Chain A
């Protein structure tokens, strides 16, 4: 199988800021590859390099077998790019935007309609509306339709779900999953750790460095300690009390419980005794499987 992206040792500086620091990874054909990390991690810079909009200071990158510097014209025909900021023409209608993008790439909406029909059908009833007047979710669907209309081999989505509610985010990932049958490779960035599980492979990225690259389940398996969830009605008190317990290694709030690791990787009666003494008697402790976010926190703590 051919690698759609092959990158080794990519670095990019802005003044004294190291936006990307020695980034190496490869993306296989028809894969959904996620870059997961907070704002400022370097995701957008990397995507701009992949889409030939920016040159790296160091390192080599090949996309679809082509050189990002010398073959950029040919490469651009084969990439669909959806930037983080809504970048369509706000004063053109939905339909006009779509036609415009099709024309720019020398194709027609009819020719590739099948590819976008699942997505575009949601906004087609509003095709006479100006793009600027659409709701957030509809703008996102239009932008995705426009990025796909020339049937790219590689789709690059920069934070498509940021600021989007949980229901719409889930629907968006369902749409990406369906694109798989058209043999389109997708790279996507997101600050939401829970979305990692929707990818075939993910890279965790922070401060311009890749912390880990693997299939999401393997990243979870990489968690090096035994993880426990601890629940009590008094959540805030529980966190602070757990942190003071001498055997506690880490204690982080996760939803309705606290995720805790202990120096000896086990829970014994002395924990319950300690918590009761501190006035917390309703605790429920369970062994748990680490999630992507647990592993991200662990890797962040290691690098600091």
Chain B
């Protein structure tokens, strides 16, 4: 039987009277690539913040890497990695310094950090950049390094929040190959993206709309279920409730 690394039961998160997450239920398996999709404002970021121990649920049961999202947020943080498009590395530190910093934060020993630096630089063919500051790296290299740093401590789960926004098409594909490799090592990858073709690379995807999960299955099954040729079509059919499409213009006042 497959093990669950994330279990979410009846998760509700409210901000005042606003229900950002409305009774979510899902599981994520070990080593799975799980695509977490939804329109802007659907509530994805709220869920990711809860799953990474940064915010507590209003009600419901949430377990991440075996730890409870109410009481064991520190253990959760130790067992996950996180990368987003906007910020992940210190721009005025060098490649090497960033790796040492993150290694230290995650409590790796000095000898292990040294080993990982050598491994990483070789794998990314990064040797020439070792002593360059991040600000001088092309975006694509930065994103690949940020991902590698996010899994430096071999977490159980890594959260990737729009990791490929704006990168060129070759780098975008190389990035996904890194995701495949990481998942093949047993690390669960939880990823959000606005590129619908990338959704097809996931083992399973969920689609959120107005705080609820409106679909969850493999890309194949979702396409069958909604009689669509691509996930983009599925997304356009269900990601946005009709109530958000306003009616034709009211007369000018």
Contacts and interface: CB of A to CB of B under 8 A. Distances in A.
B240 A167 contact: yes
A300 B169 contact: yes
A182 to B, nearest CB: 16
Given A192-B195, A255-B197, A165 B40 contact: yes
Contacts of B166: 38-39, 162, 191
Interface residues of A, number: 44
A170 interface: yes
Given A122-B246, A137-B40, A297 B200 contact: no
A120 B249 CA distance: 8
A125 interface: yes
Contacts of A200: none
Interface residues of B, number: 40
A235 B177 contact: no
A136 B173 contact: no
A163 interface: yes
Contacts of A165: 38-40, 194, 235, 239
A255 B230 contact: yes
Interface stretch (A51-59, A110-118, A218-226): A110-118
A208 B185 CA distance: 38
A167 B169 contact: no
A120 B252 CA distance: 10
Interface in A203-259: 206, 235-236, 239, 252-256
Interface of A: 37-41, 110, 113, 117-118, 120-122, 124-125, 135-137, 162-170, 191-194, 206, 235-236, 239, 252-256, 293, 296-297, 300-301
Interface of B: 38-41, 138-140, 162, 165-171, 173, 176-177, 180, 184, 194-197, 200-201, 219-220, 230-232, 235-236, 239-240, 246, 248-250, 252
